[in-house]
Each structure stands twice: as structure tokens, then as C-alpha cells.
Amino acid sequence: MIKIFLVIIIFFCSNLNATEFNLKKILNLNEPWGSSFINENELLITEKSGIIKIVNLKKKEISIIDHNLNVLEYGQGGLLDILYKDNVVWVSYTEDRGNYKTSTSIARGDFNKEKIEFNNLFQAYPPIDSPYHFGSRMAIKDDYLFASVGERGQGMIAQDASKHPGSIIRIHLDGKIPKDNPKFLNKKDWLPEIFQIGVRNPQGLTLSPFDQKIYISNHGAKGGDWFGEVKKGENYGWKILGWGGTNYSGTKIGPKWKPGFTKAIKYWVPSIATSAITIYKGEEFEEWNGYALITSLKDMSLRKLDFNTLKNVEEEIIFQRKIGRIRDIQVHPKNGKIYFLSKDSLWIMEKG
């Protein structure tokens, strides 16, 4: 009886601390990938096929923006992330480079609701014939644009800093290269845009409004997903390290971590297929302020991480298998409600 009583008390207390919420579908989409608020009523959304949409959240209306991007929807690639700031739009995308080769590329254009004329700021070198691991998320910090470039399924290319795949890049918002990037300090053999190396397929990247650090999520192979901090001139270790995962064949890759490499804040084994992330700041879920929100594809979950104490990172699954595979997450700039892109829809999450 005492054991039963304790179980009841623990269950009751945990529910007192749980945040009640509602999830509501706003509208249907076709494989959306990235999103960015223009203002409190309008949201820019990319679809993998190459379409840029504006969604009016009040009216639930959609309009399409024409553009000049040379997008190739190829395997995991297509039109990927999008950022809006001060009437300028940045996109990352799979660019058709000819002869069956593609790259993760970044372009910039002045915002226009009818058509945006984009100009490339960055093209990953070398272009590769592969349908896998393009990345790619972007984040703005001050006058810098950070972006993740997947290793295209090429493994050890992520350890070759004379090539872009498998790295985090940092450029200025206009595409110029910062003079304090690693190449100009102590990494003479690195390409000038590279800020950090050794990543596999990073599809989450965000700036924390609390500590002003850039954080990242990354897909492992069969296990070994992780969440961590972007660190200048460092190396996350792929494919020397396996981060706790194995090859899909079951063979070993390497240790979870070893000295000399950047250590992630949180690992997931087995894989949850980490996707977009954010560090929450808002009114709707003010008790979550400062926590990382991690979305996932395979696991179809939203997870909350308290990583204030790195030796004791606490994780809570907020929901799972309610809206399908989650591709992107955005916090409303005014009210703090949370918006998600699933495989085929736009959703809102608000207090219950």
C-alpha cells in the first residue's frame, strides 16, 4: 500500500509541474523546410521543391514569391532554410552545379512580396554528386551569418578543412569573409569561410538570446545525434568519432568522444533524428525561458533541455507522435507561441 501511495503522489506532483498546451493545425503545406517571421502576422516558409511562401497567420492565406534560385530537389536536398531581417532575405539551398553535381549554397536578396532577385554569397566546395546530408540551417549574430554544411555522406571529408562539406561556416551578412575567421589566425590550411569542422548532417542552428552563443543539433549515423555549442576553430570529430552510434551496417565508427575534440552537451543513442532547435524566450511558456527546444524527425518529438548545469543536463519530452516528423520550429516574436513545420503542415502550440 505504501508503494502504491508513493506512486500516486509522484504522478500527481509531476502533473502539477507539467505544462498544459494545445496543438492546432493552421494549414496544409507541401514538404516545408524552413521558416522565418517577417512581422507578427506574416511568416516566410520554404518548401523543398523550391517554392517560397508567405503565410498570413491572421487570415490563414498563402501567397507565393517568385525567385531566380537554381534549386534542385534531389534526395534530401532542395530549398532549405530561410531567414528574414531588416527587409533582407537569406536562403540556403541545394544548387544545381551541373554534371549531376550539387552544393549547399547560400543566397541573399532584398525582400519583395512579388519576386526576390537572389545573389549567391556562398557555394560549398567542391560540388558533389550525392543526394545526402546537405544540412543546412542558418543563424544571424550581429553582422555574422552562421550556416551548417552537411558532409554529403562522404564521411572523412568533414576532417578536410580544404573542403566545405562537414563544417560550420561564418560569413558577414553581405557575404564578405570575417578577418578573424580561423584561417587568418591559426588554421592556415582551412578555407576562409570555415568556422568549425567535423559535423555530419546538422539541421538545427540557433542564436541564444540569453548568452549570445550559437547552438547546433546534428544527426549521427545509427545513433549519436547531439546538441552542442558552435566553437571557433574546433572540431566535432566526424568521422573519427561516432558519438555513440554505429554505421548503418552495424560496424563501429569510433569512440563517443575523446580529448582534442569538441564535446557535445547532449547525445542521443539510439538516434531521434534531431532537426531544428531554438533557445526559448517568450511569454506564452515563460517557465521555459533559457531552455533548448529540440525537434526531431524519426522520433517525431519536441524535447526540452535544461543545460544550465552541463554536468547534469535535464531532458523532458514535451510531446511525441502528435504532428508527425517535425522539420522546423519558430517562436512568435511578440506572444511567444510556438510554430512548427511538420512534413505537410503548419502548426501552432499554445497554453492549454
Contact 36, 82 (CB under 8 A): yes
Q: 31: left (phi > 0), else alpha (psi -120 to 50), else beta?
A: left
Q: pLDDT tier at 306 (50, 70, 90 boundaries)?
A: very high
φ, ψ of residue 282 in degrees (nearest 5):
175, 175
Q: pLDDT tier at 18 (50, 70, 90 boundaries)?
A: low
Query: Does the pLDDT value for residue 322 go beyond 50?
Result: yes
Query: Does the pLDDT value for residue 53 go beyond 90?
Result: yes
Contact 293, 276 (CB under 8 A): no
Contact 101, 91 (CB under 8 A): no
Query: Does the pLDDT value for residue 349 go beyond 60?
Result: yes
Rounded to whole angstroms, the Cα distance separating 161 from 266 reads 25
How far is CA 226 from each of CA 37, 98, 145, 199, 211, rounded to the nearest angstrom? 27, 34, 22, 10, 20
pLDDT, mean over the chain:
94
How far is CA 239 from each of CA 53, 97, 166, 169, 172, rounded to the nearest angstrom? 37, 26, 10, 18, 29
Query: Does the pLDDT value for residue 269 go beyond 60?
Result: yes
Stretch 276-286: mean pLDDT, rounded?
Answer: 98
Distance between start and end Cα atoms, the chain: 34
Stretch 306-314: mean pLDDT, rounded?
Answer: 94
Closest among 23, 54, 216, 255 to 135, alpha carbons compared: 216
Query: Does the pLDDT value for residue 203 go beyond 50?
Result: yes
Query: Does the pLDDT value for residue 3 go beyond 70?
Result: no
Rounded to whole angstroms, the Cα distance separating 259 from 127 reads 32
Q: pTM for the full model? A: 0.94
Query: What pLDDT does 152 receive?
Result: 97
pLDDT 10s digits, 229-255: 999 999 999 999 999 999 999 999 999
Query: What pLDDT does 2 receive?
Result: 52
Query: Does the pLDDT value for residue 15 go beyond 60?
Result: no
Query: What pLDDT does 19 receive?
Result: 81
Stretch 164-182: mean pLDDT, rounded?
Answer: 98
Query: Does the pLDDT value for residue 130 go beyond 90?
Result: yes
Query: Does the pLDDT value for residue 12 go beyond 50?
Result: no
Query: Does the pLDDT value for residue 313 go beyond 70?
Result: yes
Contact 92, 168 (CB under 8 A): no
One-letter amino acid for residue 230 of the chain? V
Query: Does the pLDDT value for residue 159 go beyond 80?
Result: yes
Kindly list the domain boundaries of the chain, sorted by start residue. Answer: 21-351
The CA radius of gyration of the chain, in Å to the nearest whole number, is 20
Rounded to whole angstroms, the Cα distance separating 199 from 158 reads 6
Higher-pLDDT residue of 189 and 5 is 189
Higher-pLDDT residue of 13 and 126 is 126
Residues in the chain: 352
Query: What pLDDT does 352 receive?
Result: 87
Query: How many other β-carbons are positioned within 10 Å of the β-carbon of residue 296?
Result: 24
Stretch 89-98: mean pLDDT, rounded?
Answer: 97
Percent of the chain with pLDDT over 70: 95
Cis peptide before 127 (omega within 30 of 0): no
Strand order in the sheet with 167-172: 135-141, 144-149, 167-172, 194-197
Query: Does the pLDDT value for residue 10 go beyond 90?
Result: no
Domain boundaries 21-351, corresponding CATH code: 2.120.10.30
How far is CA 301 from each of CA 277, 321, 324, 328, 340, rounded to the nearest angstrom? 12, 6, 8, 12, 11
